[in-house]
Amino acid sequence: MDSTKHFNVLIIGAGPAGVGAAVTLSKRGIKSIAIIERSDKIGGIPSFYKKKKGGVRTFVRWSRGGIPVFGEEYAQWLEKQLLKSKVRIELQSQVLNIDAKKKILTLVNPKEGEVNYSADAIVMACGSREETPAERGWLAGSRPVRVFFTKQLLSLLDDNHLLPMNNPLIIGSDLIGYAAAAKLKAAGASDAVIVDNCNRPKCSIFERLYFRMWSNPKYQGLKSKSIEITGNKAASGVRLNGKNIPCDGIVICGELIPNSELALIGNIKVELPSRKPVVTEDYQLSESGWFAAGNILGGFHGAEWCYFNGRRVARAVVNYLSESS
Ligand SMILES: Cc1cc2nc3c(=O)[nH]c(=O)nc-3n(C[C@H](O)[C@H](O)[C@H](O)COP(=O)(O)OP(=O)(O)OC[C@H]3O[C@@H](n4cnc5c(N)ncnc54)[C@H](O)[C@@H]3O)c2cc1C
């Protein structure tokens, strides 16, 4: 007997893009929708940014007049939207494999073990991850201690109330880098030095002005493809185009890679080496009935952009379903 469960639409990932897509599909009258999330909570990346007294609100609600909130609050708002809808929520469920032609997902979860779900249309809203230094071709070999990724830094600052450095240096100048500088200063560190391989910071002037409330990091932009961390045991600085910049801890931020592994498994077209899935104007992937939404599309986008992108993709899915029925 075929035990595959069938839905009208399946959404992989319950971050801002996946939730935006799910609630819009539900509002548009699509009957059976399931959202599949590998972690045990709704919200994707924002859910890691804890609400904290004296902390920095880094998620801007542009649709609410630009109110900044904590990521955790944004994730709670997403969860509320989802719970109000009729969408089936599958947490702790990781999609491991796809059959793109048959529109079947194989997932594992504690309730069912390994199980197959199929759908008339599928939205990939799997987000993106920070590129490792090796992937960037920057830091070969071993890495000294006191070099952190944003998520590790957040865990130390927000979950454990630990300040891992006093004179930070941040590699990466988009919103994530400026948000990290503000969080470190709010926690007691000095103003960070931010370095990147472009003349101007990638973070918009509006966002930089907002983060000035907490910190005024010094930007050192140099057209250099390589950066070398100095210090044998612990990071003591970086060398950029022969120039030494001292610090007592480094945060590597930004430069996101789309989580397009599932697309690659299913032979859905993905640009390499950027790993961006190839999409049409209405966010359709190379296999019929497959769509992509949010940060998986590549580049850096704030959470609110991803939420609204998910909604836009949902409208394209509704059109697809009505044309194919
Ligand atoms: C480190 C970092 C810091 C950021 N800081 C800010 C900030 O301060 N302010 C701001 O506005 N924006 C920030 N952003 C950007 C913003 O958080 C993202 O753009 C937004 O969360 C992307 O939404 P998304 O739904 O596309 O992906 P995500 O939020 O990444 O959600 C994707 C979801 O898919 C799930 N998933 C992935 N693969 C699978 C699978 N195989 N099976 C099941 N589930 C899966 C993941 O668990 C995740 O929950 C940051 C991004 C990063 C990476």
Bridge-partner residues for 102, per DSSP?
none
Residue type, 206: F
Domains, the chain, ordered by start = 5-129+256-324 (3.50.50.60), 132-252 (3.50.50.60)
Cβ(44) – ligand 1 distance below 6 Å = yes
Instruction: Kindly give the distance from the C-alpha atom of residue 78 to the centroid of ligand 1, in angstroms, as a whole number.
Output: 13
Instruction: Kindly give the distance from the C-alpha atom of residue 67 to the centroid of ligand 1, in angstroms, as a whole number.
Output: 20
Give the N- to C-terminal CA distance of the chain in Å, as an integer.
26
Atom 11 of ligand 1, residue of closest alpha carbon: 302
Instruction: Kindly give the distance from the C-alpha atom of residue 13 to the centroid of ligand 1, in angstroms, as a whole number.
Output: 9
pLDDT reported for residue 133: 64
Query: How does pLDDT run across 61-83, given as a tens digit for each residue?
Result: 988 888 999 999 999 999 999 99
119: its two tokens = 């759908």
Query: How does pLDDT run across 26-66, given as a tens digit for each residue?
Result: 999 999 999 999 999 999 999 998 898 888 999 989 888 88
Cβ(57) – ligand 1 distance below 6 Å = no
Atom 48 of ligand 1, residue of closest alpha carbon: 44
- Angle between helix 16-27 and helix 303-324 axes, rounded to 10 deg: 40
pLDDT at residue 135 is higher than 80: no
Instruction: Kindly give the distance from the C-alpha atom of residue 230 to the centroid of ligand 1, in angstroms, as a whole number.
Output: 31
Arithmetic mean of pLDDT, 115-135: 90
pLDDT at residue 308 is higher than 60: yes
Query: CA 180, CA 59: separation in Å to the nearest integer?
Result: 13
Cβ(70) – ligand 1 distance below 6 Å = no
Atom 12 of ligand 1, residue of closest alpha carbon: 302
CA 195 to chain centre: 21
Instruction: Kindly give the distance from the C-alpha atom of residue 241 to the centroid of ligand 1, in angstroms, as a whole number.
Output: 33
Tell the burial category of 2 from Cβ atoms under 10 Å away from its Cβ (0-12, 13-18, 19+): exposed
Atom of ligand 1 nearest to the CA of 301: 19
Query: How does pLDDT run across 285-300, given as a tens digit for each residue?
Result: 999 999 999 999 998 8
pLDDT at residue 302 is higher than 60: yes
Instruction: Kindly give the distance from the C-alpha atom of residue 249 to the centroid of ligand 1, in angstroms, as a whole number.
Output: 25
Cβ(47) – ligand 1 distance below 6 Å = no
| Residue pair 68/207 in contact by the 8 Å Cβ criterion | no
Own/partner contacts of 201-209, CB < 8 Å, gap of 24 or more, are 201/173, 201/174, 201/177, 202/172, 202/173, 202/174, 202/254, 202/300, 203/173, 203/174, 203/175, 203/177, 203/178, 204/175, 207/60, 207/175, 207/178, 208/178
Cβ(207) – ligand 1 distance below 6 Å = no
Q: What is the pTM of this model?
A: 0.91
CA distance to 20, 78, 158, 288, per residue, from 100 (Å): 23, 28, 40, 8
Cβ(302) – ligand 1 distance below 6 Å = yes
